Chain A
């Protein structure tokens, strides 16, 4: 039985529909991500799970029973907000102690628990500091300790890394992941950062315009997107129009053997990293001209013009704009979509 379950959640603000028929199941101890651009409804979903918002329709189940009637403070779903929201008038110790004090846990136990939590987030010795004396990363650790201190059923993280600089972000990612695994706490992470979602999650729910487009493991979403929208969310993609004939994909620029595809007009989606650039004389498939180059150090982004079509490629070989190059297309991870715009 999934620990957290959303059933047909619908929510609108005024006449703007924010969530349409959201269904989601989260297994105990897993970390899942709600991934999507801003305004797709992911934070609203988080607030509905926590109880800060009530859905117009649908149900929220914890361990199989509805929690819609359970008020926020009794629900046991703690949000760590984007800006941490440490109480400015309380010290680090008092901040972490806050939830326990509200639950009227006795003083000695509170002290013990706060100590444990601060040890867990490696913030021992900061008990008497105040939030304004802490750095961004430290604030986040305290916010995390404060949330974990109340032993929530589910931990909800709202864009937890967006206020941190790149290097700190990477180390905090590992850090949170480590704690999540150690405590085996069910966690829902809201993010717009695809890399963050891919690297941290057991499963990702990709949200676009108030619906969950696809829910699956990071590899499933990246390698086997259900449609072009999902595919495009993870980066630029190449689409080659063609048709399937007798186990062969045939298009203007390439023809290859493929298996188990119905004979119909299709589009083959190829990721830029599956397009290998080679010197023109080594090419056996496709020839093109370098139209644009963006140098990013460990990789180089190319736009290659092939028979009037622009192909996006990633390579670490250096070519110049105007060079003739060959492309070896790796079709093993190609995804075929039905081509709806067929004439």
Chain B
């Protein structure tokens, strides 16, 4: 038993170490003016990176907020679309169900990047290119399959028995959805929302193409620094990126918990 405990501990610490080290390196880099090989610690520290980030000329904060708003919009629309779709796929039998499923999950197999050119042409015709809504729409493509996969599983495991119970107790379809379905699938909604947010928040190419340089998101301002090798700035942007994601996910979790007291007693 004791040996097993030790092995388990070593594995746990190793995993934590592997996760933490890159983050630590980034953190140190964000304060390091330069950090040439073979130094273990950088010699010169400075605040240039952070100063630039918070300076009004870089516009970073407003781009960050804009980016968060965009990803939240994507998350919300994805959920609105995928909750009913997943429910139908999980609980109903209908003609062409397999085909619908394959089409929905297709972006997981064929990357949307591959068809982005075609989408771009189409969006230009529809006057959706270079617009906020156009970018939101194109983000939906990689986001929907993740959400459907998660929610469909949840609906399959919960079934429609609670809906039946709600109905016989006098709940109208809308009441049933608000008071029974939503709270019961809320843990699934949270995981789907987190994943979708992250997928949308880190989109680079699709935003770049469809946004046409008019719609600037956070990864787009961050990418040049990573590419050009300004590691100090790249690290600063990375840290903010991670923090922003964490804060957003945490607040979604909070929001959901506030409405529906959650617990691990679901899916009995």
Chain A contacts to B: CB under 8 angstroms: 50-52, 72-74, 77-79, 81, 83, 85, 87-89, 98-99, 101-103, 130-132, 146-147, 150
Chain B contacts to A: CB under 8 angstroms: 161-162, 164-172, 175, 179-180, 183-184, 186, 260-263, 265-266, 268
The answer on a CB contact under 8 Å between A89 and B165 is no
Which residues of B lie under 8 Å from residue A50 when comparing CB positions? 168
List 9 additional contacts besides A102-B169, A103-B170; criterion CB under 8 Å.
Answer: A52-B167, A52-B168, A73-B169, A73-B171, A78-B169, A85-B164, A87-B165, A99-B171, A130-B265
CA distance A103 to B161 in the complex (A): 20
The answer on a CB contact under 8 Å between A87 and B162 is yes
Nearest CB of chain B from residue A62's CB, rounded to whole Å: 14
Task: Report which of B162, B164, B169 forms a contact with A150, defined as CB distance below 8 A.
Answer: B169
The answer on a CB contact under 8 Å between B170 and A74 is yes
CA distance A48 to B261 in the complex (A): 34
The answer on a CB contact under 8 Å between A72 and B168 is yes
The answer on a CB contact under 8 Å between A89 and B171 is no
Task: Report which of A81, A87, A99 forms a contact with B184, defined as CB distance below 8 A.
Answer: A87
- For this complex, 30 residue pairs linking A to B, each with C-beta atoms less than 8 Å apart, are A50-B168, A52-B167, A73-B169, A73-B171, A73-B172, A77-B168, A78-B169, A83-B161, A83-B268, A85-B161, A87-B162, A87-B184, A88-B265, A88-B266, A89-B186, A89-B260, A89-B261, A89-B263, A89-B266, A98-B166, A98-B169, A98-B179, A101-B179, A102-B175, A102-B179, A131-B265, A132-B263, A132-B268, A146-B169, A150-B170
Which residues of B lie under 8 Å from residue A147 when comparing CB positions? 169
CA distance A79 to B165 in the complex (A): 7
CB contact under 8 A between A85 and B165, given known A98-B179, A102-B179: yes
Nearest CB of chain B from residue A83's CB, rounded to whole Å: 8
The answer on a CB contact under 8 Å between A81 and B183 is no
CA distance A98 to B180 in the complex (A): 10
The answer on a CB contact under 8 Å between A132 and B168 is no
Which residues of A lie under 8 Å from residue B169 when comparing CB positions? 73, 78, 98-99, 102, 146-147, 150
Task: Report which of B168, B172, B175, B265 forms a contact with A78, defined as CB distance below 8 A.
Answer: B168
CB contact under 8 A between A88 and B170, given known A81-B165, A102-B179: no
The answer on a CB contact under 8 Å between B262 and A52 is no
- What is the chain B residue whose CB lies nearest that of A86? B165
CA distance A81 to B160 in the complex (A): 13
CA distance A87 to B170 in the complex (A): 14
The answer on a CB contact under 8 Å between B170 and A130 is no
- Nearest 5 Cβ contacts at the A-B interface: A132-B265, A99-B169, A89-B183, A85-B165, A102-B171
Nearest CB of chain A from residue B227's CB, rounded to whole Å: 47
- What is the chain A residue whose CB lies nearest that of B175? A102
The answer on a CB contact under 8 Å between B184 and A79 is no
In the complex, which of the residues B161, B166, B184, B262 has the most CB atoms of chain A within 10 Å of its own CB atom?
Answer: B166
Nearest CB of chain B from residue A191's CB, rounded to whole Å: 19
Which residues of A lie under 8 Å from residue B266 when comparing CB positions? 88-89
The answer on a CB contact under 8 Å between B180 and A87 is yes
CA distance A78 to B170 in the complex (A): 9
Which residues of B lie under 8 Å from residue A77 when comparing CB positions? 168
CA distance A103 to B170 in the complex (A): 7
The answer on a CB contact under 8 Å between A73 and B180 is no
CA distance A116 to B266 in the complex (A): 28
In the complex, which of the residues B167, B266, B268 has the most CB atoms of chain A within 10 Å of its own CB atom?
Answer: B167
CA distance A52 to B169 in the complex (A): 12
Nearest CB of chain B from residue A14's CB, rounded to whole Å: 11
Nearest CB of chain A from residue B22's CB, rounded to whole Å: 38
- What is the chain A residue whose CB lies nearest that of B261? A89
Nearest CB of chain A from residue B183's CB, rounded to whole Å: 4
Nearest CB of chain A from residue B222's CB, rounded to whole Å: 39
CA distance A74 to B165 in the complex (A): 13
In the complex, which of the residues B166, B169, B266 has the most CB atoms of chain A within 10 Å of its own CB atom?
Answer: B169
The answer on a CB contact under 8 Å between B167 and A72 is yes
The answer on a CB contact under 8 Å between A89 and B184 is yes
- What is the chain B residue whose CB lies nearest that of A99? B169
- What is the chain A residue whose CB lies nearest that of B184? A89
- What is the chain A residue whose CB lies nearest that of B167? A72
The answer on a CB contact under 8 Å between B164 and A52 is yes
- What is the chain A residue whose CB lies nearest that of B186? A89
CA distance A227 to B266 in the complex (A): 48
Which residues of B lie under 8 Å from residue A89 when comparing CB positions? 183-184, 186, 260-263, 266
CB contact under 8 A between A79 and B168, given known A88-B266, A89-B184, A102-B179: yes
- What is the chain B residue whose CB lies nearest that of A47? B164
CB contact under 8 A between A99 and B170, given known A85-B165, A88-B184: yes
Nearest CB of chain B from residue A133's CB, rounded to whole Å: 9
The answer on a CB contact under 8 Å between B167 and A73 is yes
- What is the chain A residue whose CB lies nearest that of B266? A88
Which residues of A lie under 8 Å from residue B260 when comparing CB positions? 89
